[in-house]
Amino acid sequence: MREIFYEKGLAVEFYDRLYPGHLAGTPVVGDVHFYLAQARRMGGPVLELGVGTGRVALPLAAAGHRVTGVDLSRWMLEACARKAALAGLGGRITLVRSDMAKLALGERRFPLAIIPFRAFQHLLTPAAQQACLTGVRRHLRKGGRLVVDLFNPRLEYCLPEYRQAGGSGARTETYPDRVHGRTLEVRYLTRTNDAHRQVLREVWEFRVYGRKFKLLRRQRDTLHLRWTYQWEMHHLLERCGFRVRHCFGDFRGGPVRYGAEQVWVAEKR
């Protein structure tokens, strides 16, 4: 089964419907404003890993910053390029297709690097995580800053016996498109946990309905994420040559809370 967001399909086509820029009502609400404030403080250009369709990169570019956006998905990068061109921001955004664990941008150096919206958690081994952080450090200027967002795992959702029910009992979300007369339905079918590797696997089913609820398209994808505990991440950053300045529990600068976010702000040592 295909890995979500990495290949052409419904997950990429409807990404901006699933994750609008403001992400109101989610644990990461306010993240774009947070990254804008960091960019104002540190200056540009900005390196963004996991740039996706440009949810964060485009507002940074619109604020006057040059952005180098890295993503493994060709299809997400194509969507980002289209949106940047339509907004007249193509001259401020450079897009690079690369695995973030194999970052190689030549002599380019940045005062600020960001890894928003849990993109770091797509790295499924500690070795890949260390390779990513080491690569980011190499591309930061002296005193440069890294901001990384992870979810703070809830242990009850990480147990090996945890199973999310599938079938008719699966959690379902709908996204109507009244302009085109279509409705996107996302069913979160199953979730299994490898507690030893700290990796979850979910199966998502996308359905697109037309008028009179006629099924037009259907597709299933898998999502793999590695959860990382707070002090584990602290040690990873220190080991890879960073000094941790802050770990917040949200994008308002609140304290770390169980089951909330880990918003890391670290400085190149």
5 within a domain of the structure (yes/no): no
Domain interval for residue 247? 10-153+228-268
pLDDT tens profile 88-136: 999 999 999 999 999 999 999 999 999 999 999 999 999 999 999 999 9
- The per-residue pLDDT for 25 is 83
pLDDT at 47 over 90: yes
By residue count, the chain amounts to 269
Measured CA to CA, the distance from residue 46 to residue 69 in angstroms comes to: 8
Asked if residue 161 and residue 146 are part of one domain, the reply reads: no
User: According to the model, what pLDDT value does residue 34 have?
Assistant: 98
148 and 26 both lie in a single domain: yes
Query: Could you tell me which residues are beta bridge partners of residue 46?
Result: 67, 112
Q: Please report where in the chains the tokens 């995580």 appear, as a residue.
A: 129
What pLDDT is stored for residue 113 in this prediction?
Answer: 99
Mark which of 194, 210, 225 sits at the end of a domain: 225
Q: What is the phi/psi pair of residue 116, to 5°?
A: -80, 170
pLDDT at 261: 97
State how far the Cα of 57 lies from the Cα of 181, in Å rounded to an integer: 30
| Inside any domain, residue 3 | no
Q: Are 115 and 140 in contact (CB under 8 A)?
A: no
Task: Give phi and psi for 136, each to the nearest 5.
Answer: -65, -45
Cα–Cα separations (whole angstroms), residue 121 to 124, 148, 200: 7, 10, 10
- Count: domains in the chain: 2
Both tokens of 262, joined, read 């880990």
Same domain, 124 and 192: no
Asked whether residue 55 falls in the same domain as residue 143, the answer is yes
Question: Is residue 68 a contact partner of residue 94, using CB atoms and an 8 Å limit?
Answer: yes
What is the tens place of the pLDDT at every residue in 226-260? 999 999 999 999 999 999 999 999 999 999 999 99
63 and 134 fall within a common domain = yes
